[in-house]
Structure 1
Amino acid sequence: MRKIRYGMATMAAGAALVLSACGGGSGSEGGGGGETGGGGEKVRIGIKYDQPGLGFSSSGQFSGFDVDVAKYVAKELGYTEDQIEFVESPSANRENMLANNQVDMIFATYSITDERKKTVDFAGPYFVAGQDLLVRADDTEITGPDSLNGKNLCSVTGSTSAQRIKDEHASNVNLVERPSYAECVTAMQGGQIDAVTTDDIILAGLAAQPNNAGKYKVVGNPFSEENYGVGLPKGTDKCADINAAINKMVEDGSWDEALKKNTEGVDYSYNKELNPPKPTEACA
């Protein structure tokens, strides 16, 4: 399969075609892709702004595994870093943002599901996560969801992950909600809760933050499977090129390097039976 590459000399001529295929177009700032200082069109990439280790924004700087994968893929599609416009993409808004031409693609812990595929195309997956638990580093009692009876378990408001544990694994667990996972971790530090639950890589990213170093661990007993995909407008023809870029990132070691960098200092190991993923040419 031939990847699409664009030299700077031909960027202006080819950019309209590229962004049209990705759901974008030329236009003013905040609408379709606008001109950058480099003379080429922007690519607008949706990420999370509040998930340390995955998608995080601080003082205009963007970091995390999702961000690193997005930059690699964009480069393979012919964009330089200064042509990337990162756009905050909250979970509840992702489908609408793609449908309304607010972004060209989304890298934001976006699980591929049959329901979402009715309105969105997915390239990938670029990572396969699993629901897990974050506990204090010295905790020896909590080894998985079945050991949570009588414990205080935190997840974010509106999430179904904690309720899943109560329904399927530990009916006597006490559920606690906080507006963000960071606030769950703060509550655990204060002794108000015993564990936090969500996808394992999100937990690892939280534990890897400098102020949390050495204090927490991911239990390492995932009990679900979440395929993180690249969200694209329905009917795109970009899945093959994006999947080729993901496979190249895996093959040249950049995928593993990015994952290690963003979970450094955490006792965390991803599921090696499912990762690294090997997306096919077609949309997932």
Structure 2
Amino acid sequence: MNKLTQMRSIVAFSATAGFVFAALSAQAGPVTDKVKERGRIAVCTNVNNPPNVFIDSSGKAQGMQVDLMNDMKASLEGKMGKPLEIELVPTLPANRVEFLDRGKCDMIFTSLTVTPERQKLIQFIEPYYYAAGPGLQTKKGVSLKSWADLKGKSVCSNQGSSWNVPLERDYGVKIIAFQTQQEVDQSLRDGRCIGLVSDDSYLQARFLTDKDGIWKDFEIQKLPAFTEGPWGLAIKFGDADFEKDLSDIVIAWHRKGTVIEAAKKWGFTPPKFSEDMQQKYKAN
């Protein structure tokens, strides 16, 4: 039995925290009415993605995105006038859109980057709630003042990474791309590249959770992001009420600085996107 299958078989971890874990088929009908009727909202997410979402030793869901889910739950409870639980449906990048389409969950809440391709498949909630930019991990002692300092140098990356094209086109970087993250990591250790590029949030999480010191001889370069990819909550097309409810919640997060506070609590450096969104909605 693989890990995902094991996670699906768990019925409940922490009822007192308002979370249950399952992969039950959602019923037909408007999501808002369905959630109110059953007292539960099913959320597709990656449950093994610390410190965004993870299960602690007591079986309780923890993490930055879990804090935001709790706030979302409280807002929906206020709208519906009844207590709710959050049903975490374990997913991976390869199946989360499929699970939403099949009705196994009511929404996707994870580190889901908004792309034109995905916008054709699912309804992203606007405004978007977070963003990730490019980060560069190198061995300690490497000195870089800007992305331009990488001109002519080799950087390891994943095939299809959204950062590959701008690095090659705008900064003259030689991208060495691999299919798996393990290959990218090993190539950096072997010195085949000066650094590896990935989402800055992913790299921050890597170092925040490195209890065994696997990356003790490495660091993240302090380079400004040359672009940011927004993350969005996502639902099926055609549910205007649920879309409006979630949009109002995300707007409130930005106005109150909820996302920034949650990010800092879990050790992340909030992206410029979050600061810009707070200023935008505080002014409205």
Same fold (TM over 0.5): yes
Q: Which amino acid aligns with 2:97?
A: E
Q: Confirm or deny: 8 A CA contact 2:39 2:83 kept in the other structure.
A: no
Shift of 1:222: 1.2
The runs of 5 or more residues in structure 2 that have no matched partner are 1-26
1:205 to 2:205 alignment: yes
Secondary structure of 2:95's partner? helix
Counterpart of 2:10 in structure 1 is none
Shift of 1:87: 1.8
The runs of 5 or more residues in structure 1 that have no matched partner are 1-17, 27-32, 280-284
- Under a length normalisation based on structure 2, what TM-score does the superposition of the two structures give? 0.69
C-alpha distance 160-109 of structure 1, shift in aligned 2 (>3 A): same
Q: Distance in 1 between matches of 2:31 and 2:90?
A: 18
Q: Confirm or deny: 8 A CA contact 1:134 1:216 kept in the other structure.
A: yes
Q: Which amino acid aligns with 1:66?
A: Q
Shift of 1:185: 5.2
CA deviations 1:200-241 (Å, max 9, x no partner) are 222222232244579522533212231211110111121221
Identity of aligned residues (%): 22
C-alpha distance 220-262 of structure 1, shift in aligned 2 (>3 A): farther
Secondary structure of 2:146's partner? coil
Secondary structure of 1:161's partner? coil
Q: Which amino acid aligns with 2:254?
A: V
Q: Confirm or deny: 8 A CA contact 2:188 2:195 kept in the other structure.
A: yes
1:246 to 2:247 alignment: no
Q: Distance in 2 between matches of 1:130 and 1:193?
A: 20
Shift of 1:244: 1.9
Q: Distance in 1 between matches of 2:34 and 2:217?
A: 46
1:132 to 2:135 alignment: yes
Counterpart of 1:118 in structure 2 is 120
Output the aligned Cα RMSD: 3.7
Q: Distance in 2 between matches of 1:93 and 1:256?
A: 29
Query: What does residue range 215-230 of structure 1 map to in structure 2 within 5 Å?
Result: 215-230=218-233
- Under a length normalisation based on structure 1, what TM-score does the superposition of the two structures give? 0.69
Q: Distance in 1 between matches of 2:52 and 2:255?
A: 21
Counterpart of 2:66 in structure 1 is 67
Q: Distance in 2 between matches of 1:184 and 1:51?
A: 19
Greater per-residue helix proportion: 2
Q: Which amino acid aligns with 1:52?
A: P
